[in-house]
Amino acid sequence: MNKKKKGLFYTRHLQKQIYFRKNVIVNALFNLEKYLFENFELKEDIPTSYIKQKWIYDSINENDYTNEISSQFKVFSKRRLKKKILKLIDLFSQIPNLSQSKIFLRAFQKFNDQFNNILISEGNNNFKTNVYFQIYFLIYLKKLKIEEIFESNKVFADNLVDIFEIIFLEIFIKNKNYKISKIFYLYKVLVRLMIKK
């Protein structure tokens, strides 16, 4: 699951192929999530992440899709969808430092709710991504230290339904492995699917 500079996170890639094949809006949404997460920083001063979030917000708001990064979000230009996407970016910009655990969780839940709202309305199915998957996805991408508040029993007590997210969380939380290989990940998914049959 080593991230490729231009590719989606492997779990997201599988979800896109299985649940949202040929859905350009969901593909762009997953790429926006990746952009926001990769640029998330934990600094006390004005973080560069805020500047990058403001830049992508302004690009989408002003329909400026003239560069390589913003061009992948041109599908957000319709007024109704653009409003939801701008709200999503704004909610992400309000997520504080991980050290403020309770505020972090509340802010991240709001971001997750809006993300799922867009997924459901644009994905034409009832798929929802789990808030703990997104939190650990961020932690994994940024190689952040796993805080005590994110205890594994709390994570798995939540209503996790997507097998791709469950497998990622099981591997990452149990082993604290920041370099999960695609082959190992796929092997675990296949084993789980065979057990279910």
Tens-digit pLDDT profile for residues 66-106: 999 999 999 999 989 999 999 999 999 988 877 677 788 89
In the three-class reduction of DSSP (H, G, I as helix; E, B as strand; rest coil), residue 149 is classed as: coil
Average pLDDT over residues 135-147: 83
What is the Cα–Cα distance from 41 to 43, expressed in whole angstroms?
A: 6
Residue 157: the pLDDT is 55
Across all residues in the chain, what is the average pLDDT?
Answer: 84
pLDDT band at 180 (very low <50, low <70, confident <90, very high): confident
Residue 126: the pLDDT is 85
Measured at the CA of 11, the angle between CA 34 and CA 146, to 5 degrees, comes to 70
- For 162, the token pair is 């997507």
What is the Cα–Cα distance from 163 to 191, expressed in whole angstroms?
A: 11
Indicate the range of 47-51, 61-65, 76-80 predicted with least confidence.
Answer: 47-51
What is the Cα–Cα distance from 128 to 70, expressed in whole angstroms?
A: 25
Whether the pTM exceeds 0.85: the reply is yes
